[in-house]
Amino acid sequence: MTGIFSKTFHVRWGDMDFNAHMKNTAYLDISGDVRMMYFAENGFSMSGFVRLRVGPVVMRDEIEYCRELRLLEPIEVNLTLAGLSDDASRFYLRNEFFRQDGKCAARVASMGGWMDLTARKLTFPPDRLAEVLHALVRSDDFRVLDSSVRKAG
């Protein structure tokens, strides 16, 4: 893959909070959408995950706010790989939100893994899915993570 994966959105009415700027849950929703768009565009649609009986699970999200976003403002949201375990069972993904003037509005960092939808426990992703993760552009502070799957024994 070449270049950073990104999508353009507009701040919607439902994204607004009482202070007339984008609310925190809207950042999380858009981050999830961009992640799933990346997987779908690389061969892993929602129905594909269902067929494989595996799906992404987020264990922690962190939001860092930089600048306000307001109603109908266009935003560019990218996705980079900030960390990955050797077996690709654990990932650390980062979304950055940029205003039209190029200034960063926020960053969302999400730590996650892969859930076996039948056994309901963490698992390794299929090889092709691991390749899709490895294809993401790495952040400057990329780090190798510990596996999320416990070894038997």
pLDDT-derived band at 150, boundaries 50, 70, 90:
confident
- Percentage, residues of the chain above pLDDT 90: 94
* Cβ-based neighbours of 127, under 8 Å, separated by 6 or more: none
What percent of the residues of the chain are helix, what percent strand, and what percent coil, each to the nearest 5? 25, 45, 35
Is the pLDDT at 19 greater than 50, yes or no? yes
Single-letter code of the amino acid located at 104:
C
Torsion angles phi and psi, residue 63, rounded to 5: -120, 130
Single-letter code of the amino acid located at 77:
V
- pLDDT tens, residue by residue, 58-99: 999 999 999 999 999 999 999 999 999 999 999 999 999 999
Residue 26, classified by CB atoms within 10 Å of its CB into exposed (0-12), middle (13-18) or buried (19+), is: buried
